[in-house]
């Protein structure tokens, strides 16, 4: 299966980044958003990212313009009928995602199309069961920022066909130039199953007064050779995303290490989401 016609649902930080990756890889991309205002913001986000890449010498202006020419935005999910690959990158809300997959099942006409989710921790099988083709649903989890981070988790549910997993893995590696790893449909997959308890533990240290955020970050950078401390990393990931992932993992596993700290919940309630909002544990 040669994938050329793609779509992304959502143009927030992750959706815009994924759409940019697809467009730079020479693919036809439709981005579906809820209204024109959000679509305009998503396009602006992609344009800014591509222009930054040109300024840094990582992309030439012709390639930027060509990538932008491959992008089209719509508010009509019906325009995704001919897509061969659709990647859902909506909010980390299970009901919203299930609804999107149910709609895609009705709209996408190609029986060989792959329907994928960029969820960071939610069970893929629940989205698959919202469709009449669960064998063609899987997770394709990019990391933030998607245009820069090389890793992609390819997550198979218990019903995902081997051929679909193989096609998605080959596509990620050979077309997108990313590094795919295989993950089972378990809470947090691979990366977040390890990362989220770590971030929660660091936030609990701040919450209890055990240590300052600066010293925690300096300790892990200088003492463990991490490129970034856990508090700053949580800000970069997005504190709302960290919270949703922690809640999802804790609900399924009951692992106390993944239980969201109260401080994390309160910061999300206050709109202090990290880099994306300009302020989290640090100011940006």
The active-site residue out of 192, 247, 248, 258 is 192
The active-site residue out of 130, 153, 156, 248 is 153
Is there a binding annotation on residue 120? Answer: yes
Q: Is 192 a catalytic residue?
A: yes
Output Rg (C-alpha) for the chain, integer angstroms.
19
Paired tokens of 5: 């016609």
The active-site residue out of 11, 120, 156, 258 is 120
Q: Is 141 a catalytic residue?
A: yes
The active-site residue out of 88, 141, 156, 248 is 141
Q: Is 226 a catalytic residue?
A: no
Helices (H), the chain: 13-24, 36-55, 61-69, 94-107, 124-128, 162-170, 191-208, 213-224, 230-237, 239-253, 262-269
Q: Is 62 a catalytic residue?
A: no
Neighbours of 39 (CB within 10 A): 18
Q: How far apart are CA 52 and CA 270, in angstroms?
A: 30
Is there a binding annotation on residue 163? Answer: no
Is there a binding annotation on residue 232? Answer: no
Contact 57, 84 (CB under 8 A): no
Neighbours of 162 (CB within 10 A): 9
Q: What three-state secondary structure class fits 104?
A: helix
Q: Which residues are annotated as a binding site for CoA?
A: 49, 56, 120
Residues catalogued as catalytic: 120, 141, 153, 192
Q: Which residues are annotated as a binding site?
A: 49, 56, 120
């Amino acid at each position: 299966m040669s994938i050329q016609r793609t779509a992304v649902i959502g143009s927030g930080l992750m959706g815009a980044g994924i759409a940019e990756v697809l467009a730079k890889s020479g693919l036809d991309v439709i981005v579906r958003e809820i209204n024109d205002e959000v679509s305009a913001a998503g396009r602006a986000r992609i344009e800014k990212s591509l222009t930054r890449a040109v300024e840094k010498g990582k992309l030439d202006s012709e390639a930027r313009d060509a990538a932008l020419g491959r992008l089209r935005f719509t508010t009509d999910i019906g325009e995704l009928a001919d897509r061969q690959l659709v990647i859902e990158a909506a909010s980390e809300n299970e009901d919203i995602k299930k609804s999107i997959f149910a709609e895609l099942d009705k709209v996408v006409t190609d029986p060989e199309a792959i329907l994928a989710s960029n969820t960071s921790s939610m069970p893929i099988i629940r989205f698959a069961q919202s469709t009449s083709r669960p064998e063609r649903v899987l997770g394709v989890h990019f990391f933030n920022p998607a245009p820069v981070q090389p890793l992609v988790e390819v997550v198979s549910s218990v019903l995902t066909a081997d051929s679909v997993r193989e096609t998605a893995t080959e596509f990620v590696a050979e077309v997108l130039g990313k590094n795919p790893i295989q993950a089972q449909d378990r809470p947090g997959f691979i990366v977040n199953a390890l990362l989220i308890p770590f971030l929660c533990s660091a936030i609990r240290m701040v919450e209890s007064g055990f240590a300052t955020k600066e010293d925690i970050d300096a300790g892990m950078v200088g003492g463990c050779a991490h490129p970034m401390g856990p508090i700053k990393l949580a800000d970069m990931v997005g504190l709302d995303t960290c919270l949703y992932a922690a809640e999802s993992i804790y609900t399924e596993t009951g692992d106390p290490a993944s239980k969201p700290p109260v401080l994390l919940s309160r910061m999300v309630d206050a709109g202090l989401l990290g880099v994306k909002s300009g302020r989290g544990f640090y100011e940006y």
